[in-house]
């Protein structure tokens, strides 16, 4: 655990320092786009925070390559280089879009190329679906499903990037829960080491978000932009595939750890990686259905995202962000507690976990539907 803490501290510090440098650089050379109609902010703000986050992640990977504790996931260096190459590609395209507003078709093509890099050359694929013992036996099906999953998560995370601190905080919470899940999974199945690429990605993303959040908290000095949001989505999807897509379903169904509940043993390991990005996926699905239903491109921008709707209900932007945090924490922690409750060592946590999830969801619904009394003042348009 101490090596994960070291990697997290280094990543957070490097991200924070570089975010300050990028922010000053962007202001110095006026590297920020004009205000768009769908934007919530009214002051031109740099969108290059994703560059600092990427360099923080890159620093962590450089550290891992020389630390013996992390040597286990450097046994296959091609996978790591493919992952970093895909991340670099998506960050470069994201920065270009943040500065010059690229065509959506070009961005989507770059996303598919990045996803293929990690799935094809990198070999990060969904080989098993632990639902009813399904094994993906066809290589082209495995590649197709894996690429689509990565592209969907990338866009889902990017779609909710509309309020100060929203994506950074949601991804921080989600990856913290996912790191705990991967760590417990290694314990429950007696893996040879607690060190894994999926756990490393999760803890590094927590640190990168933590290092960037001071610049992104309302009122934001800088946004992460498409570069940061797409990078987070790419790495989170890959981490989930590295865990869920590589666990043989018979291990989940037959292992004594889940002997008391084969149903939970089959479903929770695949549900948890999904629920940590439940809100982004929900917003993405609603946006695609809404836009396609109107005969528009699913990637055409509008002001109908979940965070926009919460603002229209009367919530302040900061209150809306905190509600998103609450939803993410309640759903992901609730399922994590249910997972822990299925193990022999913590049999008493299943029902409390289910109760926590139920009560938390009810509380979140109540807070979401109850508009804030402190209505935000109309934003001032800068000259």
CA separation, residue 263 to residues 86, 132, 183, 197, 268 (Å): 36, 9, 22, 27, 8
Query: Within the chain, where are the H helices?
Result: 2-28, 49-64, 77-100, 104-119, 139-159, 166-188, 197-216, 225-244, 249-254, 262-275, 278-293, 306-312, 317-341, 350-369
- Identify the pLDDT of residue 43: 77
pLDDT digits (tens, 9 = 90+) for 256-267: 444 444 445 445
| CB burial string 105-138: b at 16+ within 10 A, e below | eebbebbeebbbbbbeebebbbbbbbeeeeebee
Whether the pLDDT of residue 192 is over 60: the answer is: no
pLDDT digits (tens, 9 = 90+) for 231-258: 999 999 999 998 876 665 555 555 444 4
- Known binding-site residues for Mg(2+) equal 158, 226
The two tokens of residue 55 are 């360099």
* C-beta of residue 286 within 8 angstroms of C-beta of residue 306: yes
| CA–CA dist 230, 50 (Å, integer) | 9
- Identify the pLDDT of residue 247: 63
More confident residue, 108 or 311: 108
- Identify the pLDDT of residue 41: 59
- Identify the pLDDT of residue 87: 98
DSSP assigned state of 347 = G
Element (H, E) at 128: strand 128-129
Strand duo 134-135 + 128-129: pairing: antiparallel
pLDDT digits (tens, 9 = 90+) for 120-156: 999 999 877 655 555 665 688 889 999 999 999 999 9
Residue 292, CA atoms < 13 Å, CB-side half-sphere: 7
- Known binding-site residues equal 158, 226
More confident residue, 317 or 371: 317
Most confident of 121-135, 196-210, 342-356, 362-376: 196-210
CB-based contacts of 360, cutoff 8 Å, min separation 6: 326, 329, 330, 331, 333, 334
- Identify the pLDDT of residue 237: 94
pLDDT digits (tens, 9 = 90+) for 72-88: 999 999 999 999 999 99
Residue 41, CA atoms < 13 Å, CB-side half-sphere: 22
Most confident of 17-21, 101-105, 236-240, 333-337: 17-21
CB-based contacts of 73, cutoff 8 Å, min separation 6: 64, 79, 80, 195, 196, 197, 200
Query: Within 101-224, where are the H helices?
Result: 104-119, 139-159, 166-188, 197-216
3-class SS of residue 246: coil
| CA–CA dist 183, 85 (Å, integer) | 26
* C-beta of residue 271 within 8 angstroms of C-beta of residue 335: yes
3-class SS of residue 135: strand
- Identify the pLDDT of residue 383: 32
């Amino acid at each position: 655990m101490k090596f994960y803490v070291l990697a997290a501290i280094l990543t957070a510090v490097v991200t924070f320092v570089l975010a300050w440098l990028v922010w000053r650089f962007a202001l110095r050379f006026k590297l920020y786009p004009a205000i768009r109609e769908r934007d919530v902010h009214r002051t031109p703000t740099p969108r290059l925070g994703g560059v600092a986050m990427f360099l923080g992640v890159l620093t962590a990977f450089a550290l891992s390559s020389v630390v013996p504790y992390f040597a286990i996931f450097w046994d296959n260096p091609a996978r790591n280089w493919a992952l970093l190459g895909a991340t670099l590609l998506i960050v470069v395209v994201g920065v270009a879009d943040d500065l010059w507003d690229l065509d959506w078709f070009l961005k989507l093509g770059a996303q598919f190329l990045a996803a293929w890099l990690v799935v094809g050359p990198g070999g990060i694929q969904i080989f098993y679906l632990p639902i009813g013992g399904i094994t993906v036996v066809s290589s082209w099906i495995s590649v197709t499903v894996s690429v689509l999953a990565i592209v969907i998560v990338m866009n889902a995370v990017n779609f909710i990037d509309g309020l100060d601190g929203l994506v950074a905080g949601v991804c921080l919470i989600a990856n913290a829960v996912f790191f705990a899940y991967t760590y417990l999974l290694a314990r429950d199945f007696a893996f040879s080491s607690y060190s894994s690429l999926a756990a490393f990605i999760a803890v590094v993303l927590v640190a990168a978000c933590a290092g960037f959040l001071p610049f992104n908290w309302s009122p934001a000095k800088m946004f992460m932009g498409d570069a940061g949001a797409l990078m987070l989505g790419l790495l989170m999807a890959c981490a989930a595939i590295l865990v869920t897509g590589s666990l043989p379903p018979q291990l989940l169904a037959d292992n004594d750890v889940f002997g008391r509940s084969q149903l939970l043993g089959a479903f929770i390991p695949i549900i948890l990686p999904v629920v940590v990005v439940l809100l982004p996926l929900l917003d993405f699905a609603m946006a695609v259905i809404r836009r396609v239903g109107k005969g528009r491109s699913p990637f055409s921008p509008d002001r109908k995202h979940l965070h926009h709707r919460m603002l229209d209900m009367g919530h302040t932007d900061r209150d809306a962000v905190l509600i998103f945090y609450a939803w993410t924490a309640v759903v992901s922690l609730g399922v994590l507690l249910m997972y822990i409750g299925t193990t022999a060592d913590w049999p008493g946590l299943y029902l409390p976990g289910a109760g926590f999830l139920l009560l938390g969801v009810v509380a979140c619904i109540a807070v979401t539907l109850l508009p804030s009394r402190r209505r935000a003042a109309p934003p001032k348009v800068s000259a």
